Amino acid sequence: MFEKQHLVKIANTNMPFGKYQGRRLIDVPEEYLLWFRQKGFPPGELGLLMGLTLEIQIEGLDKLIKPLKR
pLDDT tens readout for residues 5-36: 999 999 999 999 999 999 999 999 999 999 99
Reported as a pLDDT band with limits 50, 70 and 90, residue 1 is low
Cβ atoms of 54 and 37 closer than 8 Å = yes
Name the CA radius of gyration of the chain, rounded. Answer: 11
Instruction: Give the domain ranges of the chain.
Output: 4-68
How far is the C-alpha of 65 from the C-alpha of 70, rounded, in Å?
11
pTM over 0.75: yes
Reported as a pLDDT band with limits 50, 70 and 90, residue 4 is confident
How far is the C-alpha of 13 from the C-alpha of 17, rounded, in Å?
12
Residue 44: alpha-carbon gap to chain centroid: 13
Q: What is the mean pLDDT of the chain?
A: 94
